[in-house]
Amino acid sequence: MIKRFEDLDVWQEGFKLSVVLCRELRDSRNFGLRDQIQRSAISMPSNIAEGFERKSNKEFIQYLHIAQGSCAELRTQLMIAKEAQLIELRNIDESIERTCKISAMLHKLIQTRKTKF
């Protein structure tokens, strides 16, 4: 039974990825891209949490869509950083893959909330 947003697997995955990216980028001198990556990474679990706390299924779904948008934004930023070699990230391919997993999890949760609640 899900009683808190912290119980959601998708929130946990987004939270973990956000922490990893914030730690890895804290010393980066590419301030613009670093800040964009950190903001979109932090936005994912934050929007999941905010939507969950709204207590309305319609609002929760809306915030899940926003989180999914942030996830796509993050994946794009990571891909740009990788291709342009703008930021050093140890496991950038893994981080990109994790955004794909989180996006799929969000999609599934959105569909579940639409059909069963």
Cβ-proximal residues to 14 (8 Å cutoff; 6+ apart), any chain:
41, 44, 45, 48, 67, 71, 102
pLDDT (tens place) for every residue of the chain, 117 residues total: 889 999 999 999 999 999 999 999 999 899 999 999 999 999 999 999 999 999 899 999 999 999 999 999 999 999 999 999 888 888 999 999 999 999 999 999 999 999 998
The CATH number of 5-116 is: 1.20.1440.60
Q: What is the pTM of this model?
A: 0.94
Q: Break the chain into its structural domains and give their ranges.
A: 5-116
Give 115's contacts (C-beta < 8 A, 6+ positions apart).
none
Residue 88: predicted pLDDT = 80
Could you tell me if 52 and 89 are in contact, meaning their C-beta atoms sit under 8 angstroms apart? no
pLDDT at 86 (0 to 100): 86
